[in-house]
Amino acid sequence: MRKLPPLNAIRAFEAAARHESFTAAANELCVTVTAISHQVRQLEAMLGRKLFERSGRAVVLTAEGNAVFPLLRDGFDRMASAFATIRPPADGDAITVSTTRAFAERWLMPRLARFNAAFPSVVVHIDATEDVVTPGIKGIDLAVRYGPVDRAHDASVLFKDNYIAVAARAICPSAARLAIDDFRPRPLLAYRWKNATLDSPAWSAWLAGISHDPSRDFRISWYSEEPLALHAAERGLGPLLCSDALVDDQLREGTLRRIDGPALPGFAFRLVKAGGAVRHKSVAAFVDWLRGEAATFRAASAPLMTRAA
């Protein structure tokens, strides 16, 4: 026979630890903050261990709390997954996907209507952030991450990209092929990623792979965010070195044109799911749909993504 503390006390602790807030835990469990505090104190008394350090409204897990929290979180995840496998998606089902603003805006959102049409009862929330958010906490069900991958994570890769130089059709000469020297004296557009662990594409590396007039330096106009630089390029402010996956639609429509030059190797977009096998049917449906969209995209974009002009 299992010897467990009261389930309400365990739920109160797990929710408070996950949110790092008694108030947020109370809102999730539809009880008062006082009730959460009482249940946590009851659990601490039964265990003879302090689980939280309290400082005003802030709560921080102690070493003992940190030791037990991941096990409880995964246990609740598994219980939720077990019941979800026999429950079909219902009206009001919702999932939350975390990804970068650029990927959400340029790749995911243009395709999202197809998911909505196929699964009208499932509401998709998009959490666009440059922060690395771990699925399974703070309400995040899935994440699409961007960066290098090792072989252990190959199965999670949706697709990889390359970096090409593009310019708005409005500022391009009528010639069939474009050279970077066609865009003097406009500045080259560039951006800095907020994720310091990744090196953003460098114009210097791209220019080293082509023939151009080395006696004249290009100016560079810097943007603090990738989507801003993409919008600037579309408005004709200058050429941009960017992910071909994020401008694929614009290249096909002809609003952007590719400039002759190398396709620099990029990184991978990969799917990260919550630990503890949390896969209720609406999440599973979205994962399957996303993999299908990625496969279609890879097949349609293969010539563009592998060609070096």
pLDDT category of residue 306 using cuts at 50, 70 and 90? very low
Sequence-ordered list of residues with C-beta below 8 angstroms from that of 127, at least 6 positions apart, any chain: 96, 97, 98, 99, 133, 140
Above 80 in pLDDT, residue 123?
Answer: yes
Domain segments of the chain: what residues?
A: 7-84, 93-158+268-301, 160-265
The span from the CA of 268 to the CA of 163, in Å, is: 12
- Report pLDDT digits (tens) over 189-243: 999 888 777 788 899 999 998 877 766 788 999 999 999 999 999 999 999 999 9
CATH 3.40.190.10 fits 93-158+268-301, yes or no: yes
| Residue 82 burial class via C-beta count within 10 angstroms: exposed 0-12, middle 13-18, buried 19 and up | exposed
Could you give the residue ranges of the DSSP H alpha helices within the chain? Answer: 7-19, 22-29, 33-47, 63-84, 101-103, 109-118, 203-207, 226-234, 248-253, 281-306
253 burial class (0-12, 13-18, 19+ CB within 10 angstroms)? exposed
- Which DSSP letter does residue 97 get? E
Is the pLDDT at 308 greater than 80, yes or no? no
Q: Taking Cα atoms as reference points, which of 309, 25, 281 lies closest to residue 139? A: 25
Which pLDDT tens digit goes with each residue over 163-174? 999 999 999 998
Which residues are registered as beta bridge partners of 118? none
Residue 60 has pLDDT above 70, yes or no: yes
Q: Answer with the residue of higher pLDDT: 154 or 7.
A: 7
Q: Is the pLDDT of residue 182 over 80?
A: yes
Quick check: do 7-84 and 160-265 share a fold? no
Closest-CA residue to 181 (of 241, 251, 260): 260
pLDDT at 161 over 90: yes
Predicted pLDDT at 305:
46
The predicted model gives 101-125 an average pLDDT of: 94
pLDDT at 277: 44
Two tokens, residue 92: 């009001």
Query: To 10 degrees, what angle do helices 63-84 and 7-19 make?
Result: 110
Taking residues 292-302, report their average pLDDT: 87
Q: If you ran DSSP here, which 8-state letter would residue 182 be given? A: G
Query: According to CATH, what is the number of the domain 7-84?
Result: 1.10.10.10
Q: What is the mean pLDDT of residues 299-303?
A: 73
pLDDT at 84: 58
Q: Is the pTM of this model over 0.75?
A: no
CATH number assigned to the domain covering 160-265: 3.40.190.10
Given this model, what pLDDT does residue 114 score? 95
Instruction: Over range 105-121, report the average pLDDT.
Output: 94
